[in-house]
Amino acid sequence: MKGYATIDLPPIEDVLESKVRSHESEYALIGSMIQWPDLIDEAAGKLTAGDFDHPACAELFGVVTALRSKGVGVDVVTIFEARPHLADGQSSLAVAGLLVQNTPGSANFNEYTRIVKQRSVARRVIAAAQIMSQRLIDGEPLDEVMSQGQQAWVSLEAEGLDSRRRYRFIKDILPEAIDGVDRRFNRTASLGFDTGLPSLDEFIPGICPGHVVVVAGTPGSGKTTLGLGIAERVALVKNEPALVFSLEMTDVELTNRSLSSVGSVQLKHISEGHSMTDADWPGLTSAVNKLMDAPLIMCDDSSLTLRDIRQICRTVKREHGLAFVALDYIGLVNGENKSSSRYETVTEISKGLKRLAKELAVPIVVLAQLNRGPSSRPNKRPTKSDLRDSGQIEADADVVILVHRDGESDAGKAGVTELIVDKNRHGPTGSCRVQHQGAYHRFVELIGNPYPSEEEVEMGRPLASRFKGRKNDEKF
């Protein structure tokens, strides 16, 4: 390897080997490409000349890939014919020949490629940080610099990934898939998180990692109650970390709702304090004991952008683990580009949340508002096309659940709520009816059916027995 010094390439022992450059890997990579031309296509698919730190290696990479694309055989002679001298005046024949002579073999070609790529990304990260620092010193707005920097980090992060890990042959996936079937068959694992409402779980066998579940409704319909209820269940029953973003309520208000739901204490009593009765205190104490050690995490920052949500999720996952995310609600998330319309902003946020769910391998339950379309219909039932702000919300969702309660009907006044599964990529669509216990801010199963649906009336079904609510039972 010391022969490199005879052609003015820095001796290996003098090359700064660090996390930002590896000239030795660059030498071996170029030597492998010249000696085994079939490797050129593989390298060209992962690298560009700009990924090389050493100027001679960058120049030779460009010559070799250009010859290959023209169908010209690659060896030291054809390289010399294409470019007799490199930019620094050295003979390309001498440099290429020495690289080939000192390349130990092609067995570690993929490792050379990986090192060159990762060192390249590391140098660009440093360069991006330096640019951001200078822009801040020059007085540019912090939000603008951070926003553009975030985009640069995401792009560089993707480039730094080992591309071999981004795809798999089905033969490599099958053992994992069959093992999952076996574990679910033996009840040692589940497909995802259940909602705690068996009638809804019939449509959604599991809220799975990587999925986005949209829960939508009009104000006061109970969408927050449903979303928070699922998060509570993940944290309390499954003992898995659940992160709730609330841009509408404070974390104390959310905690009061959880105390009410879990302890079967009326929220009114908890909020007022003075109306607490002797019968309420045991329930409140029980709820505190259950929630105290529960991995339920809340963020009530109303100024959140998608970048903030992404950063907080990554931090929580790194420091505490993360299994579930709920966002209340998408329409309140701030855009990073002030000149964009609300439609464009929500579209980008929706796409970003779907990417985030896949990146972190967690389900994200996204709460959303409905427009006023349902109010003009005779039955007032919403459809997924009624989602406000952007149709992209529906497009990105794996599941869309519409929370519908007609406040003018007897059933609606009694808390009977229809949960309409209007989109389900991995299962059937349909609807079920549950009981909204407003005083405790929770949903429970509807026992009996005193209020038949319009479909049941039309089909002439007899009325079920009078409704019987669940007796002061705790949710968990």
Q: What is the pLDDT of residues 330-356, one digit of tens each?
A: 888 887 777 778 888 888 888 889 888
pLDDT in tens, 400-453: 999 888 777 777 778 888 898 988 888 888 888 888 888 888 888 887 655 555
Does the pLDDT value for residue 461 go beyond 50? no
Question: pLDDT grade, residue 388 (50/70/90)?
Answer: confident
CB neighbourhood size of 323 (10 A):
20
364 pLDDT band (50/70/90 cuts)?
A: very high
pLDDT tens figures, 62-90: 888 888 888 888 888 998 988 898 888 88
Of 183-197, 206-220, 238-252, 314-328, the one with minimum mean pLDDT is: 183-197
When pLDDT is cut at 50, 70 and 90, the band that residue 467 belongs to is very low
DSSP 85-152: B-TTS-BHHHHHHHHHHT---STTHHHHHHHHHHHHHHHHHHHHHHHHHHHHHTT--HHHHHHHHHHH
C-alpha distances out from residue 467 to 114, 199, 476, Å = 65, 16, 22
Residue 424: strand pairing partners: 399
Angle (CA) 220 224 227, round 5°: 150
All structural domains of the chain:
1-167 (1.10.860.10), 191-458 (3.40.50.300)
Mean of pLDDT values over 453-468: 42
Specify whether the CB–CB gap between 333 and 248 falls below 8 A. Answer: no
What pLDDT is recorded for position 449?
Answer: 57
Which residues are within 8 A (CB) of 192 and not within 5 positions of it... i.e. 6 or more apart? 205, 206, 207, 208, 209, 211, 363
How many residues in total does the chain contain? 476
User: What's the pTM?
Assistant: 0.64
329 preceded by a cis bond (ω within 30 of 0): yes
Q: pLDDT tier at 367 (50, 70, 90 boundaries)?
A: very high
The three-state secondary structure class of 340 is coil
SS3 441: coil
Q: Average the pLDDT over 316-340 and give the result.
A: 84
